[in-house]
Amino acid sequence: MTCILYKIYMFYSNFQFHTMYTKNLLFFVCVSLFIALLPSCQTSEKKSERTADSASVKTYISKTVFGTADNQPVDLYTLTNENGVVAKITNYGGIITSLSVPDKNGKMEDIVLGYDSLSGYLKSTPYFGAIIGRYGNRIAKGKFTLDGKAYKLDTNNIGNHLHGGIKGFDKVVWTATPTEGTEPSLKLTYLSKDGEEGYPGNLSVEVIYTLTKDNSIKIEYTATTDKPTVINLTNHSYFNLTGGKADVLDHDLVLNADKYLPVDKTLIPTGIKPVKGSAFDFTTSHKIGERINDAKDEQIKFGGGYDHCWVLNRTTKDSLSLAATLSEASSGRKMEVYTTEPAIQFYSGNFLNGSITGKGNIVYKFRSGLCLETEHYPDSPNQASFPSTVLKPGETYHTITVYKFL
């Protein structure tokens, strides 16, 4: 704009005037043009100031296109905090595709397993980073009875129902709402229709991921239903604190649990047992590899390693308390898991066998990642002595889990 006003001035000063009258007339035209253009000049200068201002405002959450699933657009959201921790989450399956946290020297590395692109997740995935629902872990034979009515769920794991069935919450497109701020968050919502995978009731689910200032990923799960149903939501991230340089056998684990659930050979719980004196005692720190090949332990044999649910020691019901601490000496990384849930599934990646090539062309070998899935007990709908997983109309399911990096 300044440039246009300058051109008007140059035109006036260079013009060859024939008479005084034309000179005055032109002077009048130029001054009028100048006055007319001045306000818009000021507005555009103000606008450019605003653009400059907004350009300097830091963005903590951004979105890129990730692909298409079920004919719906799928995006990838990048959440960053002021310490440089970066979490990438897609609205396909609510999957945490990448999580970069600092090591002891401040070096950022991705410490979760997954794929570089959506097509990897669409082809086949052992639930990398996903939201699991309606029911985390197994329901025996895919059957349960609720209020006298028998339900038959889809079975997808040697005759049992696992992680919500054939098309669980890990394989659906969620509606995403990002919220900007120094603690960026991503709200994901999904309506699971009455009868989906055999479950009763329309279930409205909301999961909010927040990246906090203290380097935690907080996951808040909320749900309501219009018919009695069962629910057990969790997240299935595979962690490797070395950033993929080694398997997880040298990771140190503490579980705040005096009891665990032994299983049958199809991994359905058979009761509750104290961990004392067994390979399942993680009440003090133990390396994961220390007792994982204990051939004498039938439970280790059934799980092919650790694939069990630990009953958390709780002083208060439903409060957020420390469930697990995972650390790895060479990187100096440490993760604490806090939850409102009564239990945690520790799965040592026993079904990873080198057949998957993940992010950055890394082959995911045997036990190259581990899961710490906060949850209610597997098969609760069939085991009356376990805490209830029934959700009724008018009630609100609400749980929180925090993965904190130190």
Contacting positions for ligand BGC (CB under 6 A): 126-127, 137, 267, 307, 345, 347, 351, 371, 373
Q: Of all residues in this chain, which one has the CB nearest to ligand BGC in the complex?
A: 126
Choose between 345 and 368: whose C-beta lies nearer to ligand BGC: 345
Nearer residue to ligand BGC within complex by CB, 12 or 302? 302
**Residue of 163, 236, 251, 308 marked catalytic:** 236
Nearer to ligand BGC, 192 or 345 (CB): 345
- If the CB atoms of residues 127 and 386 are measured against ligand BGC, the closer one turns out to be 127
In the bound state with ligand BGC, the residue whose beta carbon lies nearer, of 233 and 371, is 371
Task: Reply yes or no on whether 236 is catalytic.
Answer: yes
Nearest distance from residue 132's CB to ligand BGC, in Å?
8
Nearer to ligand BGC, 144 or 364 (CB): 364
Amino acid at 185: S
Dihedral sign from CA coordinates of 160, 154, 115, 339: negative
Taking a C-beta distance cutoff of 8 angstroms, is the pair 282, 254 a contact?
A: yes
Distances (CA, A) of 247 to 76, 171, 368: 27, 27, 4
Token digits for 139? 């329901």
User: Which residues are identified as catalytic?
Assistant: 236, 373
